[in-house]
Amino acid sequence: MRRKWLSLFPAIALFVMLMVPQTVSAINEDDVKVMLNTMNDQLAVAGENFRIEKVDFSTHDEVGPTVYANDRQHQLDSHWVPYDPNRWGVRDIYWLIDQVDICADVAWPDAYAAIVRAMNIWSTVPCADIPLVQVNDWGMDWGYVQWLVGMGGFPGWAADITHAGWLPGDFFEIIGGPGGSDVILGVTFTFIWVDDITGEPTDMDNNGKEDVAFREIYENEKFNWGIDIRYFDIETVIAHEVGHGLSLGHFGKIFRSGNGKLHFAPRALMNAIYYDILHELLGTDHASFCSVWASWPNN
């Protein structure tokens, strides 16, 4: 078995159109690729059989990009493998909440409850029964990425999706490049399994998708966070990141009118820009989720 303890879609691809005039991203994709490749080199030296495939950024007032590591020969979609022997051999998707790097703006019980509600938004979609199962955090400071950049964390994982917490702006400068901390609200890192010998991504179920090992979600403590407030609502941002955790990408056409107001076609939780409070899945969110998960094994 290749997994170590504590080291620890059949889907139709959605065509994404993103158009936001009059905005320039503060996230330098070349800087991000260098960062991803540096971390992947660290993982290779450590003998780990997984690499970071991509990072999905959630931003405000500009398109949140998805950046792939440029040392990979392919940029295929990635998804979980049911009954993956490297992930405990179950069809469940395990998740946990880091309770060390907590939100400083909201009483922790309230922030914790908002994260749970964000998970429940996705766990109640009737087309699929995954299920999503919360596991114990054991009081540890989880976060492989933050460990790789020397900001705490732990070189391992105990769940498929880890809510690794709120980190200082400096973390988002490292992962997004100079100015990244000013625009990045949250981020999801996707780790994939690679072959022990060739280092190539694995595809155990031969569906043309790279096999996800685990994912980590982080939020930027530089912003003011709250419950049911527009700037910035914990549940909305977390639910968006969980969508990435469940293999969904950004979608929807986004444009600005003459007065600078943002318009979405269609409006969705998985739009590439945070806009306002949204505590439910809209039509395209449902369709995308079901295209990924409706065939997930239910036995």
For 104-138, how does the pLDDT look when each residue is reduced to its tens digit (9 = 90+)?
999 999 999 999 999 999 998 999 989 999 999 99
CA distances from 61 to 4, 13, 191, 222 (A): 41, 26, 27, 16
Is residue 217 domain-resident?
yes
Which residue, among 238, 6, 277, 254, has the nearest Cα to 118 in the 3D structure? 238
∠ CA 259-180-227, nearest 5°, is 70
∠ CA 30-31-37, nearest 5°, is 90
- What residues are paired with 239 via a beta bridge? none
Q: Which domain holds residue 49?
A: 29-293
Residue burial 58-80, b: 16+ Cβ < 10 Å; e: rest: bbbebbbbbbbbeebeeeebbbb
For residue 50, is the peptide bond before it cis, meaning its omega torsion is within 30 degrees of 0? Answer: no
Q: Where does the pLDDT of residue 16 fall: very low under 50, low under 70, confident under 90, or very high at 90 and above?
A: very low
Q: At what angle do helices 108-123 and 234-245 cross, to 10 degrees?
A: 40
Tens digit of each residue's pLDDT (9 = 90 or more) over 178-211: 999 999 999 999 999 999 999 899 999 998 899 9
Strand, helix or coil for residue 236: helix
State how far the Cα of 40 lies from the Cα of 229, in Å rounded to an integer: 37
CATH code for position 63: 3.40.390.10
* Mean pLDDT over the full length of the chain: 89
Is residue 91 domain-resident?
yes
Q: Are 223 and 91 in contact (CB under 8 A)?
A: no
pLDDT exceeds cutoff 60 at 148: yes
Is residue 52 domain-resident?
yes
**Residue 46 identity:** A
Q: What is the pTM of this model?
A: 0.90
∠ CA 209-285-90, nearest 5°, is 45
Q: Where does the pLDDT of residue 252 fall: very low under 50, low under 70, confident under 90, or very high at 90 and above?
A: confident
> What are the tokens at 200?
């190539």
CA trace torsion 286, 292, 294, 298 (10° rounding): -130
Number of domains in the chain: 1
Q: Which pLDDT belongs to residue 107?
A: 98
Is residue 19 domain-resident?
no
- Specify the pairing of strand 50-60 against strand 66-68: antiparallel
Which residue, among 292, 294, 241, has the nearest Cα to 270 in the 3D structure? 241
Is residue 226 domain-resident?
yes
Among the residues of the chain, which ranges form H helices? 29-45, 108-123, 144-148, 169-176, 234-245, 283-293
pLDDT exceeds cutoff 80 at 170: yes
Range with lowest mean pLDDT among 50-59, 66-75, 164-173, 263-272: 66-75
Is residue 87 domain-resident?
yes
Tens digit of each residue's pLDDT (9 = 90 or more) over 206-241: 988 999 999 999 999 999 999 999 999 999 999 999
Is residue 13 domain-resident?
no
State how far the Cα of 186 lies from the Cα of 261, in Å rounded to an integer: 22
Work out the average pLDDT over 21-43: 83
CA distances from 144 to 276, 280, 287, 291 (A): 30, 30, 32, 30
Question: pLDDT over 70 for what percent of the chain?
Answer: 88
Q: Which pLDDT belongs to residue 74?
A: 65
Is residue 20 domain-resident?
no
Strand, helix or coil for residue 268: coil
> What are the tokens at 243?
């969508």
